[in-house]
Amino acid sequence: QAQLAESGGGLVQAGGSLRLSCAASGRTFSTYAMGWFRQAPGKEREFVAAIRWSGAIPLYADSVKGRFTISRDNNKNTAYLQMASLKAEDTAVYYCAAGPRLSTYDGEYNYWGQGTQVTVSS
């Protein structure tokens, strides 16, 4: 059964950095787009970043552009989200997802991880 598993979340001070990983298992996701979404308490899930299977021309939410970098290693079946200059408003549960096409819409993604908590203290 195909699964995605996030790791790398934690508590960090504002201005700090974290790198999230999303390890895929059960099938290869090398031809899938990979996305990162987040959900803060009391808010709807929102798009953060996405990357094509080739890694070319990733998409970012305006709120993270210039601070977050999405990447992937198809040989390791793993996607990453490097987060820098973190702000308190980045606090959320972060989810990785896989789908057949690049999209900012969560409905386009078929596979989801269980989420990892990122807390940024101000």
Q: What is the pLDDT of residue 29?
A: 87
| 63: confidence class by pLDDT, cuts 50, 70, 90 | very high
Which whole-number Å values give the CA distances from 101 to 17, 67, 78, 90, in the listed order?
Answer: 29, 24, 17, 26
pLDDT at 18 exceeding the cut of 90? yes
Q: What is the pLDDT of residue 35?
A: 97
Distance separating the N- and C-terminal Cα atoms of the chain: 40
Inter-residue contact 116 to 58 (CB < 8 Å): no
Question: Strand, coil or helix: what is 14?
Answer: coil
% of the chain surpassing 70 pLDDT = 100
Q: What is the pLDDT of residue 27?
A: 83
| 30: confidence class by pLDDT, cuts 50, 70, 90 | confident
Inter-residue contact 11 to 121 (CB < 8 Å): yes
